[in-house]
Structure 1
């Protein structure tokens, strides 16, 4: 996309936000599109999630050691990196360990 189009889109979305349309029940897409357009123009940096994921993984490692499966007393294993859920290696049940 050309930068002219992106600038026009950003202005249009900003006007919609100025009118308060992003506060409407079906207006959440306006905020998302505004952020996406501003990132494409280089006005906003993308969020760095690597530190947050590392903190979640570290805390989950502690929780998995503390908690056992309440059904079969099996060990729990984090489902994937950055997830707050664990799966029992014995019975396969999923457990929410962090909120």
Structure 2
């Protein structure tokens, strides 16, 4: 089975989302999103997961006017919450199967 991976360059991301390069560097510096390729900033490439978190981070920063450290903490909590929700769904499925047998 072939896995299809979508990616977007830093330049394309700046154009599509109207982000500045400086904003993306801030997000990466705070560990909110990570490029999947590229050593130099101009060569960075991001996957869809990073773009998802980058969008959330920029929105939190601009809408709530909080600094990047606080944004990184909020994003970390959101990621943990998503992981717990996924785990909970998995356990609920197991419980349903257990009850059916």
TM-score, normalized by the shorter chain, greater than 0.5? no
Which structure: greater helix fraction? 2
**Which gives a bigger RCO, structure 1 or 2 (Cα 8 Å, sep 6+)?**
2
Which structure: greater strand fraction? 1
Q: Tell me the TM-score normalized by structure 1.
A: 0.28
